[in-house]
Amino acid sequence: EVQLLESGGALVQPGGSLRLSCAASGFTFSSYAMGWVRQAPGKGLEWVSAISNSGGSTYYADSVKGRFTISRDNSKTTLYLQMIGLKAEDTAVYYCAKDLGFRGTVPDFDYWGQGTLVTVSS
Amino acid sequence: QSVLTQPPSVSAAPGQKVTISCSGSSSNIGNNYVSWYQQLPGTAPKLLIYENNKRPSGIPDRFSGSKSGTSATLGITALQTGDEADYYCGTWDSSLSAGVFGGGTKLTVL
């Protein structure tokens, strides 16, 4: 059974940093691209970032480019999202998601985690 | 403002059919596959359709997808009250080199 378990969400002050983790199991992690999608309270889905299966290619939404870094450790089957320079508008539930393919440029997310809440507020 | 445009809401009676549109441009829908997601209240999204019209295993054939030019459509037949949810289209935008979602459509089954 595929499982994606996010962690690391917290209340952080504007300008602060946070690292989200997503522990994956139940599939061959190194064969699939992964992504992060966020949802602000009461709002729609926003694609944030994706990474290819090898980690060699990464992609970002303009709203987070230069502030967020996606990475993965295939030996630990874990996906990460390092966030710096956090803003109030980054407040959202962050979902980790598995892609159907390996490139990360489709995107077709067939499995999702339960989400972790990031709140940016003073 | 979302790159992909969806109607904010649609409604229909149980047993009826509904369609949800998703409009984009040549940099996204026009040249890339479209996927559709269902998000029930308080839960994570669920993939309904990928590569324009393919259904993952376990998704009933009441759900269908199509694409024409720079627009895509999700169809749901034999509506059930359990289909009440938010529906999102998604695709890749080649100009942005990023994924994009529509703003979402709330389906009400009257």
**Average pLDDT of every residue of chain B:** 96
Please tell me which of the candidates A46, A106, A113 has its beta carbon nearest to residue B92.
A106
Interface A-B: count of C-beta contacts within 8 A:
67
Note the pLDDT of residue B1.
78
The answer to whether the beta carbons of residues A10 and A19 sit under 8 Å apart is: no
- A92: which residues sit within 8 A by CB, 6+ positions away? A38, A39, A40, A41, A43, A46, A117, A118
CB atoms within 10 A of CB A32: 20
Mean pLDDT along residues B11-27: 97
pLDDT tens-digit profile, chain A (122 residues):
999 999 999 999 999 999 999 999 999 999 999 999 999 999 999 999 999 999 999 999 999 999 999 999 999 999 999 999 999 999 999 999 999 999 988 889 999 999 999 999 99
Bridge-partner residues for A47, per DSSP? A37
Beta bridge partners of A50: A35, A59
Inter-chain contact B44–A114, Cβ cutoff 8 Å?
yes
Instruction: State yes or no: pLDDT of B93 exceeds 90.
Output: yes
Q: What kind and span of H or E run contains A6?
A: strand A3-7
A22 and A96 Cβ atoms separated by less than 8 Å: yes
Instruction: Report d(CA A49, CA A3) in Å as an integer.
Output: 20
**pLDDT interval class at B65 (50, 70, 90):** very high
CB-based contact (8 Å) between A107 and chain B? yes
Query: Are A108 and B33 within 8 A, CB to CB?
Result: yes
Neighbour tally for A75: CB within 10 Å: 8
Residue of B nearest to A63 (CA): B98
Looking at chain B, which residue has its C-alpha nearest residue A61? B98
